[in-house]
């Protein structure tokens, strides 16, 4: 059973903006939202989710403390790409001000400068993350499988490993103004160059599905702390979460 203790921060509330929940929600990415809600509420903090579907207003976007965006297939991403560009200014300003966010797979790619298709077609991104993604073409394999990453930031936690599942065709190359989410211990990552994901300000891009947050409670709490602007959170009983985390690490023969 979870520890439902109240805390000195129980007067705070957390507003999560879920970008395109109906369209960008593949490979169980909805689990990231559930994890953030429950880990907030278990600590006596009110959590609210704003569904940012096509046609949402910048005014609604600006009320969010934390932004989450998942992945999708090509058809859904085309719809999102057109709508997302309408909110480029507000989203860019929020990210530059330090509003935290987690952008997974297709959501991660949207944050970059562009996506280059196998035929050479360039699809412009938002240009918030200094990175580019390209398709290697149908003759190259997708990057699929369990993955473990050593993050390039400090959780202040006994485990310094993030685990997940990747399944992507695009290869992402980071520019000078972003750093990777972490170093690949096992798996492929951005493009088999030893990097995975990207960090800009308090925003995190990643190819890790699974979804990523349920089996990485330390990462989920890190995002919550950034959103609430606190240094510590009351501890929870994370026995089940760490069983899931450790099972993947063990399968990959990774020491946590």
Catalytic residue among 87, 168, 188, 209: 209
Would residue 218 show up in a list of annotated catalytic residues for this protein?
no
- Residue 9 contacts residue 43 (beta carbons within 8 Å): yes
Report how far residue 27's alpha carbon sits from residue 25's, in angstroms, rounded to the nearest whole number. 7
Report how far residue 81's alpha carbon sits from residue 86's, in angstroms, rounded to the nearest whole number. 9
Rg (CA), the chain: 17
Catalytic residue among 87, 105, 188, 218: 105
Q: Which residues contact 250 (CB under 8 A, 6 or more apart)?
A: none
- Residue 207 contacts residue 196 (beta carbons within 8 Å): yes
Q: What are phi and psi of 205, to 5 degrees?
A: -105, 145
Would residue 168 show up in a list of annotated catalytic residues for this protein?
no
- Residue 178 contacts residue 132 (beta carbons within 8 Å): no
With H, G, I as helix, E, B as strand and everything else as coil, classify residue 224.
Answer: helix
Report how far residue 75's alpha carbon sits from residue 151's, in angstroms, rounded to the nearest whole number. 32
Report how far residue 93's alpha carbon sits from residue 128's, in angstroms, rounded to the nearest whole number. 10
Active site amino acids: 105, 209
């Amino acid at each position: 059973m979870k520890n439902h203790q109240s805390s000195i921060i129980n007067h705070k509330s957390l507003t999560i903006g879920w970008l395109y929940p109906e369209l960008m929600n593949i490979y169980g990415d909805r689990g990231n939202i559930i994890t953030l809600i429950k880990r907030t509420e278990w600590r006596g903090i009110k959590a609210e989710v704003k569904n940012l579907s096509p046609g949402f207003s910048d005014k609604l976007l600006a009320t969010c403390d934390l932004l989450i965006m998942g992945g999708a297939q090509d058809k859904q991403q085309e719809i999102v790409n057109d709508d997302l560009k309408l909110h480029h200014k507000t989203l860019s300003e929020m990210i530059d001000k330090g509003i935290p966010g987690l952008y997974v797979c297709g959501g991660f790619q949207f944050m970059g400068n562009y996506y280059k298709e196998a035929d050479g077609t360039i699809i412009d991104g938002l240009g918030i993350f200094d990175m580019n993604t390209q398709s290697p073409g149908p003759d190259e394999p997708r990057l699929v499988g369990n993955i473990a990453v050593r993050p390039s930031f400090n959780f202040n936690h006994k485990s310094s490993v993030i685990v997940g599942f990747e399944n992507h065709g695009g290869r992402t190359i980071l520019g000078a103004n972003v750093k990777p989410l972490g170093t690949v211990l096992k798996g492929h990552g951005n493009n088999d160059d030893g990097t995975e994901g990207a960090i800009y300000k308090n925003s995190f891009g990643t190819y890790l599905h699974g979804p990523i947050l349920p089996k990485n409670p330390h990462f989920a709490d890190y995002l919550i702390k950034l959103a609430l602007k606190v240094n510590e959170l009351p501890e929870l009983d994370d026995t089940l979460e760490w069983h899931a985390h450790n099972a993947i690490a063990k399968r990959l023969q990774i020491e946590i």
